């Protein structure tokens, strides 16, 4: 059993992670926004020593990063530096949850050594945080693991994300409206992602891992699966609107995580979607 600090504990990943850690009898300290700003030294001074920091706290909505790049730099980069300073002070290890940073990949699947692309202030802030993580690992011997998740999905995710948005439209039974049916993404179910994080706690050297499923699905395929699960055949209306510099496909090379973490995703996309649909139905009936 370890004493583990989880920053961003009230977020989608944080809630699932804290629940899983407690089930494993870890002593969990949940750091949320109510405890103070993560860029404020006083916030970290109130936290007792722990063995591990799992750093999730971040600003993540990309459009907002264009409006306030300074806030993303402060929270995502400087906030990570504050977490690293805490780790240096108490000799704690860190698991840093980064982001997809590969832009339009040159080839598939995408290995951890692939070219990094930072097309927006959000990605730039995450890359800066990663750089500091590597610096603290090299210069201050902070035990460090960086995880780059591909497209997370699961019950409790914000309705602004594609999968919950589609599920809610299908359950209403009228029409499904999307912009583009063609882009493909590598979707990783939240329980599999949590499993990868927990396994990474025991790493004793600097490592960086892609965490995905190793398979990609188009928006159209996701809609069809959800309709199959729900037993519907409602019209799908696409505006055929393509975003500037749209990434058309992502597939994670997860061979490193399989080898070093002894991890593999166990939830198929169909089973994951089925579980979410069932939970939405139960919530609507409650």
> Residue 63: which pLDDT band, with cuts at 50, 70 and 90?
confident
pLDDT at 264: 98
Residues 64 and 17: beta-carbon distance below 8 Å = no
Residue matched to tokens 């029409």: 175
263: left (phi over 0), alpha (psi -120 to 50) or beta: beta
State the pLDDT at residue 241.
Answer: 83
Secondary structure class of 207 (helix, strand, coil) = strand
d(CA 175, CA 236): 6
Quick one: DSSP state of residue 252? B
Q: What is the mean pLDDT of residues 265-275?
A: 98
Q: Please state the domain extents for the chain.
A: 3-285
Residue range 165-192, pLDDT digits in tens: 999 999 999 999 999 999 999 999 999 9
Residue of 242, 239, 268, 218 whose CA lies nearest to 176 = 239
Mean pLDDT over 201-217 rounds to 96
Confidence check: pLDDT of 1 > 90: no
pLDDT band for 61, please (50, 70, 90 cuts).
Answer: confident
CA 61 to CA 160: how far, in whole Å? Answer: 10
Q: In what order do the strands lie in the sheet with 27-31?
A: 27-31, 3-7, 52-55, 93-97, 144-149, 207-211
Interval 144-168 mean pLDDT: 97
Worst-scoring range by mean pLDDT, 48-57, 172-181, 241-250, 274-283?
241-250
Look at 60 and 137; give whichever has higher pLDDT: 137
Candidates 3.40.50.720, 1.25.40.10, 3.40.640.10, 3.30.70.960; CATH matching 3-285: 3.40.50.720
219-267 confidence digits (pLDDT tens): 999 999 999 999 999 999 999 888 777 899 999 999 999 999 999 999 9
Return the pLDDT at 240: 86
Q: Are 257 and 200 in contact (CB under 8 A)?
A: no
76-88 average pLDDT score? 98
Q: What is the pLDDT of residue 62?
A: 86
User: pTM of the predicted model, to two decimals?
Assistant: 0.96
d(CA 264, CA 254): 8
Element (H, E) at 48: none
Q: How many other C-beta atoms lie within 10 A of the C-beta of residue 171?
A: 15
Q: Give pLDDT, residue 146.
A: 98
Residue 77 CA to chain centroid, in angstroms? 16
């Amino acid at each position: 059993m370890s004493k583990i600090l989880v920053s961003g504990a009230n977020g989608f990943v944080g809630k699932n992670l804290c629940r899983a850690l407690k089930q494993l009898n870890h002593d969990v300290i949940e750091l949320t926004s109510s405890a103070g700003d993560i860029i404020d030294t006083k916030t970290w001074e109130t936290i007792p020593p722990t063995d591990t920091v799992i750093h999730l706290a971040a600003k993540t909505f990309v459009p907002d990063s264009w409006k306030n790049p300074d806030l993303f730099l402060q929270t995502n980069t400087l906030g990570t530096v504050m977490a690293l300073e805490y780790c240096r002070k108490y000799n704690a290890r860190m698991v840093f949850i980064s982001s997809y940073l590969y832009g339009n990949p040159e080839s598939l699947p995408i290995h951890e050594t692939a070219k990094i692309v930072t097309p927006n202030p959000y990605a730039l802030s995450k890359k800066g945080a990663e750089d500091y993580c590597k610096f603290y690992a090299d210069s201050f011997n902070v035990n460090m693991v960086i995880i780059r998740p591909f497209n997370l999905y699961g019950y409790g995710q914000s309705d602004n994300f594609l999968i919950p948005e589609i599920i809610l439209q299908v359950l209403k039974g009228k029409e499904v409206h999307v912009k583009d049916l063609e882009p493909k993404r590598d979707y990783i179910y939240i329980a599999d992602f949590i499993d990868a994080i927990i396994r990474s706690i025991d790493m004793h050297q600097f490592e960086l891992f892609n965490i995905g499923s190793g398979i990609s699905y188009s928006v159209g395929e996701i809609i069809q699966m959800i309709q199959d699960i729900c037993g519907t055949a409602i019209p799908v209306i696409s505006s055929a609107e393509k975003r500037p510099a749209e990434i058309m496909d992502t597939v994670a090379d997860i061979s490193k995580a399989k080898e070093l973490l002894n991890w593999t995703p166990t939830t198929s996309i169909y089973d994951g979607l089925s579980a979410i649909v069932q939970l939405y139905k139960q919530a609507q009936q409650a």
